[in-house]
Amino acid sequence: MKKVEFGDIVKVITTDKTYKGAYIDSYNKEIIILKQDSGYNLGIIKKGIKSIELIQKNKLKKNQKKNHKKSSLLAYKKDLPFISILKVGGTIVSKVDYKTGAVSAKISAEELLQNIPELKDIANISYKDIASVMSESMRFGHYNLIAKSIESELKKNKNIKGIIIPHGTDTMHYTGAALSFMLENIPVPVILVGSQRSSDRGSSDSFINIICAACFIAKSDFKGVAICMHENMSDNSCLILPGTKTKKIHTSRRDAFKPINTIAIARVIYSENKIEFLTEDYNSDYNEKKTFNVKYFKDNLKVGILKSHTNIYPENISCFKGYKGLILEGTGLGHFQSTAFDNISRINEKNKNEIKKLIKKGCIVILTSQCLYGRVNMNIYSPQRELLDIGVIPGKDMTTETAFIKLAFLLSNYSREQAKSLFLENLRSEINERILPHEFVDY
């Protein structure tokens, strides 16, 4: 048998079954690892292996050596569009310390691209490291950094077709919403890309997500902010998801991101480099007669989220004293523990009084729902109408995360009264006045 190396396609014959996949280096000497067609790794105990047959040598490894360049621009091809990659951080640009299992954002944009030679056939790629931060640690100031970098790229290269932002998945839907509001009338696609497996793992979804994002930018006329992630558990396709109506709904699955109260913008079929648009009005937020403009967040702005739960106390609410905005994530249609029905629930009246105090002090209070789908309706039950009467504003069908980002964006750029008024307007397709049956994901 020829020597088997990382990435070679092999057939492993055991005492009871035959497996096929790409050979992956293992830190455990007692097992070998194969990457299967599904994209997931399979560990096989060496003791049970009868033979290993080499099917195909790893061509990708040879190509990586040939295409290794230190330049910030991959090999230029005259007939291809320009795409800029601005690295922020997250699992997609992380390495695993296999001794500890710890993951850290250590891979540079250059290292990432050296592992994706397919990109050179899709676009002329430039790349830049603008941050190395895991997404759970991001703050409003990071949104400003990303927006300024995007603005700079567009000024530097007038022919740029679009921008890819490698980003951590935990708060990627927050950043997607933030950039959607910040980048007014942007004339190119800005696609956030994450992964649920680090880029140095054989089962990583990062490469396919980035390739699909690049393909979408190169071959479509989309303008605006979106997220590109796996459509399902296999490596067949990715979805282009709306920046303001997407949520991470699973901790580890590669198809963790789903559109909420809407449908995906498009499907990118990886094996065919093919795009299928799933909606016709995907550029409804763009007006070619208007100019591109960027609005930023106030770094020190205080806006909070309070999740409704059983046994809330007034102190849970009063701790937001001094905040400019507060999202109450209510239950169901938009309920909150603010009404007394008996002696046991008498304290709920104090909760309502604390909300009222916040509003009188100038805090804008928004009510959303903990439910993933549907909309808030505060006109059905009397407790909800009482909250309306004291000044609580319904979040309509926005996710809690988008409502939080939208409120913070408005308070960063407008007066309190303007922010209250604009919050109820549909600015970046974040509000659907009508939710259709097919816009609910059947799990």
Q: Which CATH number fits domain 303-423: 2.60.120.640, 1.10.3720.10, 3.40.50.40, 3.40.50.620?
A: 3.40.50.40
Q: Look at 68 and 228; give whichever has higher pLDDT.
A: 228
pLDDT in tens, 109-145: 566 666 777 888 899 999 888 888 888 999 999 999 9
Report residue 434 as tokens. 């009508």
Domain ranges of the chain: 9-60, 67-294, 303-423
- Active site residue: 8, 35, 87, 91, which one? 91
Q: Which of 21-30, 93-102, 193-202, 213-222 has the lowest mean pLDDT?
A: 93-102
Give pLDDT tens digits for 296-324: 999 999 999 999 999 999 999 999 999 99
CATH-assigned architecture of domain 67-294:
3-Layer(aba) Sandwich (3.40)
Query: Residue 64 pLDDT more than 50?
Result: no
Per DSSP (E only), the strands in 88-188 are 95-97, 102-104, 124-129, 160-166, 183-184
**pTM value > 0.75:** yes
Q: What does DSSP say about strands 224-230 and 189-193: parallel, antiparallel, or unpaired?
A: parallel
- The mean pLDDT value of the chain amounts to 87
Which is the catalytic residue, given 8, 129, 161, 169?
A: 169
Instruction: Decide whether 9-60 matches 67-294 in CATH topology.
Output: no
Pick the CATH number of 9-60 from 3.40.50.2300, 2.30.30.520, 2.60.120.10, 3.20.20.80: 2.30.30.520
Let me know if 91 is a catalytic residue: yes
Q: Which is the catalytic residue, given 35, 247, 248, 406? A: 248
Enter the DSSP assignment of 58: -
248 is known as an active-site residue: yes
Q: Is 310 a catalytic residue?
A: no
Say whether 129 is catalytic.
no
Q: Which of 20, 57, 95, 170 is catalytic?
A: 170
Find the DSSP H helices in 344-398.
348-360, 382-389
* Cβ contact 109:128 at 8 Å: yes
φ, ψ for residue 425, nearest 5 deg: -95, 150
> In angstroms, rounded to a whole number, what is the distance separating the alpha carbons of residues 248 and 228?
12
